[in-house]
Chain A
Amino acid sequence: MAFESETLADIATKSVKRRSFRKSRSARLLLGLSGFIVSVLLTFLGLLAITFFIGRVVPIDPVLAVVGDRAPRAVYEAARIQMGLDQPAPIQFIRYVQSILSGDLGTSVSTGKLVLDDLKRVFPATLEMATLGIIIGVLLGVPMGVYAASRRGSLVDQIIRVVGLLGYAVPAFWLGLVGLAVFYARLKWVAGPGRLDIFYDGLVQPVTGIVLIDSLLAGETEIFVNALWHLALPASVLGFFSLAYIARMTRSFMLDQLSQEYVTTARVKGVSERLVIWRHAFRPILVPLITVIGLSYAGLLEGSVMIETIFSWPGIGNYLTVALLNADMSAVLGATLVIGAVFIAINKLSDVLYRVLDPRAR
């Protein structure tokens, strides 16, 4: 599954744009900073506009979508007024933005609780899985990409290329299912669905909501190991997609670097092949790689939607899926907003890092 929305071409045009951006240093910084803040705000506003549009404009009857079609007449009317649907659209949008900013995401009809509270509860589980996934992806993907590029055309390179393409071709939910059948049911290498074995459930007090951290805080190494056991498969599935993407991008960045004149200059100096690769070819791609890793991380948060149901993982993806099937629009839009906001934040953060870290952009 292609867990990234921005392509390399976009990254490349960005970096080119940035390099041609010449003014005095402080003016540039100021201009860059204010422009950046404006673009972040606009993007968030765009996200709100999209969720508003999806929630109020697209459904034939948004009230029904919120209260469900079995609601009595009075409830329906109350909801209609409460949603401000008697007002013109721009007013409705302003009210919508106000209510979101005040933290009101509505109430879920499936759980009967505030969507915001629900999301706070489920988000750490997703974060835990995606974080472990991206760690796997970076630790394996970067060396694979570098190795493939340095042995261009070899058998290993071909294999890594195909693995990279498989990341675009394999459905995540299918890989999760097959993984469960093979590694859990048949080989018994990993634990099954869920975050912990049932008898460990509720034994540690949630502090961060991330079981690996909470269990360590409580000094329960046994629970920590059990949680890791349960995490292994879903995180590896996510890790596979991120490693495929990262390896592919790393390889293509490295191939581009290895054809640069300054790499030849390093060779002229007699620099060892290891240093040519890591110091001269790899160092310049660190910055774009950070962007790629950021995108991949954001993509994993998104991709978790597809696999959480399979692993009965009590995260935001599972929550969203249940809401989708029950046409629970408040919950759907709340989850969309949160995933969207995190996605945008990671995106923009990697953007900032790009500017701060690249000597050419400074």
Chain B
Amino acid sequence: MSLLEIENLRVTFPTPKGNIDVVRGISFNLDRERLGIVGESGSGKSMTGRAILKLIRAPGRVSADTFRFDGIDLRNQSEKAMRSIRGARISMVMQDPKFSLNPVMTVGEQIAEALQTHKRLPRREIRNRVHTMLEAVRIADPERVATLYPHEISGGMGQRVMIAMMLIPEPDLLIADEPTSALDVSVQAQVLDIIDEQVKRKGMGLIFISHDLNLVSSYCDRILVMNSGTIVEECNAGDLRNATHPYTRGLIAAIPQLNETRDELPVLDRSTWVAK
């Protein structure tokens, strides 16, 4: 049994001009592995992540034929049941820490909350675990940083705080929405290692959402390529070079190479796949 089984997942928003599907019937399975989702901006990556947590805001709607997490049918879970799953079992690193961290709560309070929501622990223990977690995401001075407000830390620190917050309850499935986009390469590698360790040690499943095709193909086991709400390509990371879909080929071609010989990078030619 897979950790996550999804068949024909749809996210629909009503608009004055009729309903629009921002995720249009995608299907995939996830085991305790690292799955990468790539695609251009607006292709529905974040919406897919939120749909898994059933956190699409009204008036948006989620529907699916199969929608199972660890054998639980998420479709008919009550809000209350979903709350006990969120955070504890599935959690999600939100895309932009500037907007996703509460501006009037300290970083430490917000991380501790992720822990306290699902477990009763003595205060000391919570503090220690928050500090350990902050250290784990390579924050140098955890005691001080824990007392800071989000506007007092940098964007990269914000991303690491976010990761700490979502890893601390040790979920079974982590959805990471561009978790490392503001980090420099060395810190990025370290932070990815921490996530990786949880995958290996605890058997956590990971959905890694990113723009960065290179990063995803080297870090993940499998890759989904999304375009305007559909999955256009699904392959093992190693096979990405042999991708067949014109959109994926276009994306790959647009990556600059170290030994670049082209004068100009090609522009995506949408006509090849939009037409069909």
* Residues in B164-213 with C-beta less than 8 Å from chain A: 165-166, 169
Residues of B within 8 Å of A360, CB to CB, are: 103-104, 149, 151
Contact B104 A264 (CB under 8 A): no
B9 to chain A, nearest CB (A): 18
Residues of B within 8 Å of A260, CB to CB, are: 99
A46 to chain B, nearest CB (A): 34
Known A264-B55, A264-B94, A360-B151; contact A271-B104, beta-carbon cutoff 8 A: no
**In the complex, B31 has a CB within 8 A of chain A:** no
**In the complex, A230 has a CB within 8 A of chain B:** no
Per-residue A-contact encoding for B66-95, CB less than 8 Å = 1, 0 else = 000000000000010001111110011010
Known A268-B53, A270-B117; contact A262-B86, beta-carbon cutoff 8 A: no
**In the complex, B113 has a CB within 8 A of chain A:** yes
Residues of A within 8 Å of B85, CB to CB, are: 270
Contact A262 B55 (CB under 8 A): no
Residues of B within 8 Å of A264, CB to CB, are: 50, 55, 57, 94, 100
A286 to chain B, nearest CB (A): 8
Known A267-B55, A268-B86; contact A262-B101, beta-carbon cutoff 8 A: yes
Contact A269 B87 (CB under 8 A): yes
Contact A268 B105 (CB under 8 A): no
**In the complex, B245 has a CB within 8 A of chain A:** no
Contact A269 B86 (CB under 8 A): yes
A362: nearest residue on chain B (CB-CB)?
B149
**In the complex, A261 has a CB within 8 A of chain B:** yes
- The listed residue (B79, B92, B101, B149) touching A268 by CB distance below 8 A is B92
Residue among A262, A267, A270 with the most chain B CB within 10 A?
A270
A287: nearest residue on chain B (CB-CB)?
B104
A262 to chain B, nearest CB (A): 4
Contact A359 B103 (CB under 8 A): yes
**In the complex, A284 has a CB within 8 A of chain B:** yes
Residues of B within 8 Å of A266, CB to CB, are: 102, 113
A270: nearest residue on chain B (CB-CB)?
B87
**In the complex, B249 has a CB within 8 A of chain A:** no
A19: nearest residue on chain B (CB-CB)?
B151
Contact B103 A269 (CB under 8 A): no
- The distance in angstroms between the C-alpha atoms of A279 and B110, with both chains bound, is 11
**In the complex, B144 has a CB within 8 A of chain A:** no
- B interface residues, tally (CB under 8 Å): 32
Instruction: Report the contact-size class of chain A (Cβ under 8 Å from the partner).
Output: 20 to 34
**In the complex, A265 has a CB within 8 A of chain B:** yes
- The distance in angstroms between the C-alpha atoms of A297 and B224, with both chains bound, is 58
Residue among A266, A269, A280, A358 with the most chain B CB within 10 A?
A269
Known A269-B117, A360-B149; contact A262-B102, beta-carbon cutoff 8 A: yes
Known A268-B94, A269-B117; contact A261-B100, beta-carbon cutoff 8 A: yes
Per-residue B-contact encoding for A229-265, CB less than 8 Å = 1, 0 else = 0000000000000000000000000000001111011
Contact A272 B83 (CB under 8 A): yes
Residues of A within 8 Å of B101, CB to CB, are: 262, 265
Known A261-B96, A359-B149, A360-B149; contact A268-B91, beta-carbon cutoff 8 A: yes
B110 to chain A, nearest CB (A): 8
B165: nearest residue on chain A (CB-CB)?
A269
A141 to chain B, nearest CB (A): 21
Residues of B within 8 Å of A358, CB to CB, are: 104
**In the complex, B137 has a CB within 8 A of chain A:** no
A24 to chain B, nearest CB (A): 14
- The distance in angstroms between the C-alpha atoms of A132 and B39, with both chains bound, is 59
Contact A261 B105 (CB under 8 A): no
Contact A265 B102 (CB under 8 A): yes
**In the complex, B38 has a CB within 8 A of chain A:** no
Contact B114 A269 (CB under 8 A): yes
**In the complex, A283 has a CB within 8 A of chain B:** yes
B115 to chain A, nearest CB (A): 9
* Residues in B203-230 with C-beta less than 8 Å from chain A: none
A289 to chain B, nearest CB (A): 13
- The distance in angstroms between the C-alpha atoms of A280 and B114, with both chains bound, is 13
Contact B99 A262 (CB under 8 A): yes
A214 to chain B, nearest CB (A): 41
B86 to chain A, nearest CB (A): 4
**In the complex, B118 has a CB within 8 A of chain A:** yes
Chain A residues with a Cβ under 8 A of chain B: 259-262, 264-273, 279-280, 283-284, 358-360
Given contacts A268-B92, A279-B105, A360-B151, could you give 6 more A-B pairs where the C-beta distance is less than 8 Å?
A260-B99, A265-B100, A266-B102, A267-B55, A270-B117, A359-B149
18 examples of A-B residue contacts, CB within 8 angstroms: A259-B57, A260-B99, A264-B100, A265-B94, A265-B102, A266-B113, A267-B53, A268-B94, A269-B86, A269-B114, A270-B83, A270-B86, A271-B83, A271-B113, A283-B105, A359-B149, A360-B104, A360-B149
Please name the 4 residue pairs, one residue from A and one from B, whose CB atoms are nearest each other, closest first.
Answer: A270-B87, A270-B86, A261-B99, A269-B87
